[in-house]
Amino acid sequence: MDYLLAAQQLEQEHTMSYVTIAERHGIAKGRQEGRQEGQAELLLNQIRRRFGPLSEAVTQRILTAKASQLETWSLNILDATELDDVFRG
């Protein structure tokens, strides 16, 4: 009896669940959104550290930016001497 229970448990643990293409797309999209949110938060922290507190408008601009903008701004901060320099290019 114990053997049957153990075998059944092993079988359930190793059963592969089917993931549809739509689900995979959703998972990939969720990961991308998560990375983008993380990039935005990192940029916000870097800007605050360098330039001090930010206005709500600047914060929202960063939080709603596209990934390509965040990447550009994240590179710009390395050479920026003032906040406006971050958002150039």
Please provide the average confidence, as pLDDT, over all residues in the chain. Answer: 86
- The domain locations on the chain are 2-86
pLDDT digits (tens, 9 = 90+) for 9-39: 777 777 656 667 767 767 777 777 778 899 9
What HEC string does 4-69 produce?
HHHHHHHHHHCCCCCCCHHHHHHHHHHHHHHHHHHHHHHHHHHHHHHHCCCCHHHHHHHHCCCHHH
pTM over 0.85: no
